[in-house]
């Protein structure tokens, strides 16, 4: 009797053991399947994104399960990148949480983090909560800019979710109901938007240049403009009436030019080379101060005389006896 | 903008001067060919003078500022009577029109 009971007990224990093993096998298989569903969620494959375009899902991806405690969200450009400078990807994801402590549902309590990417590696961030929370939805918005606006790079963005399986059951993985994807039409619209924005930028640049040109009050180039004015007369007859009229003005315009050594022909005595005195004599250290004072006196005297004569001339304008204006009028 | 306006004004002046002087010049060349030699001589004289003028101003220790000042004074002396006469002429016309 006892042996019969023992056999029955052994049989029950054995069946329980078999079922337990089977259960764990099924559970592990189920978990692995769920993990396969969850990992490597490829948003787009072999998608070529225009530089500067935003890839986003403003609607968000909805979850309906409690139990997430840690979310690891990864993205990146996986694949070949065109070798252009300043390739980077940044963006943010956001999701709201359910706080078990205060039992208040805070929609749009956004947890966001900017991500920078300077290479093809995958950047991730981890959201950790000290309490169990409900992930209501996840939205994302990433900008893939592989260079200057209008350039293209082969971006293979990949979003990978990991859940914290240490404290919570693996079933929480199973609520990802559909793969994340961006349809082709959306990508095309984004590309078109990028082209439109690029054209708008170009138009704005042209308008800025036009505005700068209109508001440009710089007259620094007036000297060269005046030189052009005189030089333009030389296009015609070089020894005609125009030349006689313009020639003195042209020479006056070049009066301030730097001194050049000249050769003085003295007939049978031969030619005499005259070097510039400012470079040969006046700059001698022995006489430099003396000549500086002398130059100051000469220049000052001439300028003083010019100024006084001009003032006298202007004063003469008031003098009715002055005939200067009348002479001109004749 | 200002620079472009200046260049435009200069081009207009150049065109006007060429327009006025070209027929006179052609007339002189065809009717009084010897006068062309005078023009050539004057041109050579200016060239001769200005070959040495830089050396001369350098030897006289005249600075570029002084030369610019002298040129500005002379320009003013020529411009002021011209401007005053222009204003006087305009006023005369205005008075006549008013009458």
For residue B67, pLDDT over 70 is answered with: yes
> How would residue A308 be classed by pLDDT, with cut points 50, 70 and 90?
very high
* pLDDT band, residue A279 (cuts 50/70/90): confident
Average of per-residue pLDDT values in chain A: 58
Report percent pLDDT > 70 for chain A: 37
Tell me which DSSP letter residue A142 carries.
E
Which residues of chain A make contact with B55, given a CB cutoff of 8 A?
259-262, 274, 276
Instruction: Give per-residue pLDDT as tens, A94-106.
Output: 443 333 322 222 2
- Mutation target to probe the B interface, by most B beta carbons within 10 A, among A209, A232, A279, A288 is A232
pLDDT, position A75: 45
The pLDDT tens digits for A78-91 are: 333 433 333 344 44
Question: Considering the entire predicted model, what is its pTM?
Answer: 0.43
Please name the residues in contact with A41: beta carbons below 8 A apart, sequence gap of 6 or more: A158, A159, A160, A161, A176, A179, A180
Percent of chain B with pLDDT over 70: 99
Q: Which of residues 22-61 of B touch A (CB under 8 A)?
A: 22, 24-25, 28-29, 36, 39-40, 42-43, 46, 49-55, 57-61
Q: Contacts of residue B57 in chain A, CB cutoff 8 Å?
A: 255, 259
3-state helix, strand, coil in chain B (%, to 5): 95, 0, 5
Closest partner CB to B55 (pick from A226, A255, A274):
A274
A7-16, A46-55, A136-145, A154-163: which range is least confident on average? A46-55
More confident residue, B44 or A43: B44
| Residue where the block lists tokens 């000469």 | A298
CA distances from B88 to A322, B2, B83, B99 (A): 16, 29, 9, 17
The sheet that has A137-145: what strands, in order across it? A53-62, A137-145, A88-95
pLDDT tens digits along B16-61: 877 888 788 788 878 887 887 888 888 888 888 888 888 888 888 8
Asked if B14 and A233 count as a contact pair (C-beta separation under 8 A), the reply is: yes
pLDDT tens per residue, range A110-121: 233 333 333 333
SS3 content of chain A, % helix, strand, coil (to 5): 45, 25, 30
Contact A233 B65 (CB under 8 A): no
If we measure between CA atoms, which residue out of B5, B37, B71, B87 comes closest to residue A303?
B71
The pLDDT assigned to A326 comes to 53
| pLDDT score of A23 | 65
Q: What is the pLDDT of residues A119-178, one digit of tens each?
A: 333 344 444 444 444 443 444 444 444 444 433 444 444 444 444 333 322 222 222 223
Distance from C-alpha of B13 to C-alpha of A262, rounded to nearest angstrom: 35
Put residue A270 in one of left, alpha, beta given phi > 0 → left and psi -120 to 50 → alpha: left
- Nearest chain A CA: its distance from B95 CA (Å): 18
User: CA angle, A149 as apex, A147 and A153 as ends, to 5°?
Assistant: 50
Is the per-residue pLDDT at A322 higher than 50? yes
Query: Which pLDDT score is estimated for A83?
Result: 38
ipTM of the assembly? 0.73
* pLDDT of A272 over the 80 cut: yes
| A25-40 tens-digit pLDDT | 555 444 433 332 333 3
**Contacts with B18 from chain A: Cβ below 8 Å:** 233, 236, 242
Kindly report, residue by residue over A61-80, the tens digit of the pLDDT.
Answer: 333 334 444 444 444 443 33
List chain B residues with CB under 8 Å of A232: 10-11, 14
Looking at per-residue pLDDT, the higher value among A199 and A184 belongs to: A199
Output the average pLDDT for chain B.
Answer: 83
CB contact under 8 A, A299 and B7: no
Using pLDDT thresholds of 50, 70 and 90, give the confidence band for residue A303.
very high
The pLDDT, as a whole number, for residue A1 is 55
Q: Do B39 and A241 touch (CB under 8 A)?
A: yes
Interchain proximity B54–A282, CB inside 8 Å = no
User: Which of B50, B79, B89 has the most A C-beta neighbours within 10 Å, making it the best mutation to test the interface with A?
Assistant: B50
Q: Comparing A2-11, A305-314, B64-73, which segment has the lowest mean pLDDT?
A: A2-11
Chain A positions touching B6 (Cβ under 8 A) are 219, 222, 225
The mean pLDDT value for B72-96 works out to 86
Query: Within 10 Å of residue A73's Cβ, how many Cβ atoms?
Result: 20
Per-residue pLDDT tens digits for A235-246: 455 556 777 777
d(CA A182, CA A47): 10
| Strand, helix or coil for residue A4 | helix
Q: Which residues in chain A touch residue B30, judged by CB atoms under 8 angstroms apart?
A: none
Determine the distance in angstroms separating the CA of B35 from the nearest CA of chain A, rounded to an integer.
10
Provide the pLDDT for residue A306. Answer: 93
Question: Which residue among A214, A245, A324 sits closest to B81, beta carbon to beta carbon?
Answer: A324
């Amino acid at each position: 009797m006892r042996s019969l009971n023992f056999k029955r007990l052994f049989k029950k224990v054995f069946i329980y053991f078999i079922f337990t093993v089977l259960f764990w096998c099924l559970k592990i298989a189920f978990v692995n399947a769920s993990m396969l569903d969850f990992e490597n969620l490829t948003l787009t494959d072999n998608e070529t994104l225009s530089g500067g375009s935003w890839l986003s899902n403003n609607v968000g991806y909805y979850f309906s399960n409690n139990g997430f405690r840690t979310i690891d969200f990864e993205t990146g450009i996986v694949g070949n990148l065109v070798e252009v400078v300043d390739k980077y990807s940044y963006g943010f994801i956001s999701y709201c949480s359910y706080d078990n402590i205060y039992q208040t549902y805070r929609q749009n309590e956004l947890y966001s983090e900017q991500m920078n990417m300077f290479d093809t590696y995958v950047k991730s961030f981890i959201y950790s909560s000290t309490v169990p929370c409900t992930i209501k939805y996840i939205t994302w918005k990433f900008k893939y800019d592989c260079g200057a606006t209008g350039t293209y790079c082969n971006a293979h963005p990949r979003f990978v979710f990991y859940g914290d399986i240490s404290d919570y059951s693996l079933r929480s993985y199973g609520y990802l109901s559909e793969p994340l994807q961006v349809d082709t039409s959306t990508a095309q619209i984004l590309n078109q938007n990028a082209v439109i924005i690029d054209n708008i930028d170009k138009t704005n640049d042209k308008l800025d240049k036009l505005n700068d040109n209109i508001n440009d009050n710089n007259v620094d180039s007036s000297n060269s403009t005046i030189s052009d004015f005189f030089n333009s007369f030389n296009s015609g007859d070089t020894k005609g009436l125009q030349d006689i009229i313009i020639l003195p003005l042209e020479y006056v315009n070049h009066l301030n030019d730097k001194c050049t050594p000249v050769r003085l022909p003295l007939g049978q005595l031969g030619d005499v080379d005259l070097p510039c005195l400012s470079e040969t004599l006046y700059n001698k250290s022995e006489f430099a101060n003396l000549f500086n004072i002398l130059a100051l006196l000469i220049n000052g005297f001439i300028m003083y005389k010019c100024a006084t004569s001009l003032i006298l001339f202007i004063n003469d304008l008031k003098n009715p006896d002055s005939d200067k204006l009348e002479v001109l009028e004749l | 903008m200002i620079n472009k306006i200046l260049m435009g004004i200069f081009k207009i002046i150049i065109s006007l001067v060429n327009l006025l002087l070209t027929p006179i010049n052609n007339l002189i060349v065809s009717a009084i060919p010897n006068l062309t030699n005078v023009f050539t001589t004057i041109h050579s004289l200016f060239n001769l003078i200005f070959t040495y003028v830089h050396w001369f101003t350098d030897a006289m220790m005249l600075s570029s500022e002084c030369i610019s000042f002298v040129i500005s004074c002379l320009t003013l002396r020529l411009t002021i009577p011209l401007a005053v006469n222009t204003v006087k002429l305009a006023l005369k016309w205005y008075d006549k029109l008013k009458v």
